Amino acid sequence: MDYDIEQPVYECPPELTDGVQRTIDSWNLAPEYKQPVMKAVVPAICVSHMPFRRYSTELKIYLTIYTALAIYIDNVMGVQPEIMIPELRKLPARWGLGLLENSYEDPIIGLYMRHVTLETPKHYGPYGTGVIVKGSIDYLIGCLLEGELPDRMQVPKTASRWTSFFRGKTGMGELYAHFIFPQEQFKEPHHLESFVPTVPDIAELINKINDVCSYYKECVVSSEDYNFVMTESRRTGLTPVQILRQICHEQVELVREVKEALAAHPLAHEAFSGFINGYLMYHCTNSRYRLYEIGVHLGQKQLE
């Protein structure tokens, strides 16, 4: 994937951290909500700055807030599904009622909806905004579905598209693929044709790289059963290691194909190449994934 393991880790600029802090302070959250949101900000800043290093601080503040709120929702789903599932059951009808309808027990869901609805059009064109809004709803519905389905659900072998379909909802690959192409460098509609054909492949890369890099923390030192690798292993009868090897081979080839497809569009090619480099850096250097425990030490230091 052309990742240079000797390159230094990108340091987060203080203006990004300060801007995110000011935004969250302005919400006046109760401590029981603010503390876990701030905890989610730590990985969110890395995943916003490293892959999107080329863009403005304003855009990276938007991306950091978006990611932190999404991480918060996922974290609460993991430890307190009895709280989050009833909240998410309200969502499909209420999102359509607009921003005035915000009677959630957990205020973070309303903040997430407001952030997506009000802030996204400031950075993305009509098409990009539409995809990001749709993908955000998909994410929340995917979280709900993950909580409603039984553990270790056995997917029929012939339901070959289910695992990727479900991963597409919870992984947010499509909307993060569009995050790579903001209005500040890719004005709609002029630039759409340069990158839109590669979006399905970029979305798969985003989800599958995360699957590979999350396997150790989820399935080796933990016992998560309802992720892509374990579900696909049960469906196909292949071992998890065989599934991992398949994914790794496919994604290395997919990076090459995307770069080839973007070769005629230097700006889009540069944006994708910078994104994939930063995305790999984020996963390999962030302690959230615990890869340092198996000897992955890239760059200058491990980020907390």
Nearest to 208 by CA among 158, 151, 246, 178: 246
Angle in degrees, 0-180, between the axes of helices 126-148 and 107-114, rounded to the nearest 10:
160
Q: Give residue limits of the domains in the chain.
A: 14-294
Q: Give me the mean pLDDT over the 39-64 stretch.
A: 96
Name the average pLDDT for the chain: 91
pLDDT of residue 97: 66
CATH class of segment(s) 14-294: mainly alpha
* Residue with more model confidence, 239 or 287: 239
Among the ranges given (51-55, 65-69, 94-98, 290-294), the one the predictor scored with the smallest mean pLDDT? 94-98
Instruction: Say if residue 98's pLDDT is above 80.
Output: no
Listed ranges 102-116, 117-131, 278-292; the one with the highest mean pLDDT: 117-131
pLDDT band of 91, cuts 50, 70, 90 = confident
pLDDT of residue 240: 94
Report the C-alpha gap between 294 and 218 in whole angstroms. 14
Instruction: Say if residue 266's pLDDT is above 90.
Output: yes
Instruction: Say if residue 299's pLDDT is above 70.
Output: no
Beta-carbon contacts of 67 under 8 Å, excluding residues fewer than 6 positions away, are: 40, 43, 44, 47, 48
Q: Which pair of tokens denotes residue 283?
A: 């996963």
pLDDT band of 226, cuts 50, 70, 90 = confident
Instruction: Say if residue 268's pLDDT is above 70.
Output: yes
pLDDT band of 96, cuts 50, 70, 90 = low
pLDDT band of 303, cuts 50, 70, 90 = very low
pLDDT of residue 155: 87
pLDDT of residue 152: 73
Cis peptide before 200 (omega within 30 of 0): no
Instruction: Say if residue 92's pLDDT is above 80.
Output: no
Its sign, for the CA torsion 68, 73, 78, 79, is positive
Nearest to 55 by CA among 134, 124, 136: 124
pLDDT of residue 149: 86
Q: Give me the mean pLDDT over the 68-79 stretch.
A: 94
Q: pTM for this one?
A: 0.92
Instruction: Say if residue 66's pLDDT is above 50.
Output: yes
pLDDT of residue 30: 95
Instruction: Say if residue 302's pLDDT is above 50.
Output: no
pLDDT band of 100, cuts 50, 70, 90 = very low
Instruction: Say if residue 304's pLDDT is above 50.
Output: no
Q: Give me the mean pLDDT over the 218-238 stretch.
A: 89
Instruction: Say if residue 38's pLDDT is above 90.
Output: yes
pLDDT of residue 117: 92
